[in-house]
Structure 1
Amino acid sequence: MSNAAQATDEVSLRDIYLVLKRRSRLILGLTLGLALATLAASLLWPKTYTSQVVVSLSLSNQSNQGLLNNLPSLPGLAQGFVDLQQTRLLADQLGVDDPTRYYRARFDEKRGLLSLTAQGRTPEEAHQRAEQILQVARSYLERNLLEGAQANLRAALTQAQLDLQVARDGLAGIQVQLKEAPDRISLDPVLAAALEARGSDPQAARASNPAYTSLSLDESRLRSQIAQLEARIATLSGLLQQPDSINRLISQALLVQVLVPPAEPLRPSFPRPALFTLIAAFLGLTLGVLWAFVLEAIQPAPEPARAEGLEAAPAGTR
Structure 2
Amino acid sequence: MNFDRFKTDEKRVKYLYDQVNNITPLNECRLYKEEQLQKTDDVLLLRNCIEWIIRANTIILNIKYALSQSLANVKKMKCSLEETDNRVKYSYYLEDAVYRDIALWDIYKQLLNEFYQCGYSKDDIYNIFIFLKHKKFEGRTPNNILKYLETENHQIVRQTLRNSFAHSTDSTSTYIFHSKSNGTVKPELKYFLLNHPFENLNIIIEDIHKLLGFMNNTIKIINNFREAKILLYNVSTTMPCGEILEDKDLWNLYILQDNFEKIIIPCEHYCKKAHKYNNTYVCKPISIYYRRINESEHKYDGTFIPKLSFDDIVKD
One fold, TM greater than 0.5? no
- Shorter chain as denominator, the TM-score bin is under 0.3
Which structure would you say has the larger RCO, counting Cα contacts within 8 Å and 6 or more residues apart?
1
Give me the TM-score of the superposition, normalised by structure 2.
Answer: 0.28
Give me the TM-score of the superposition, normalised by structure 1.
Answer: 0.28
Higher helix proportion (structure 1 or 2) = 1
Larger radius of gyration: 1
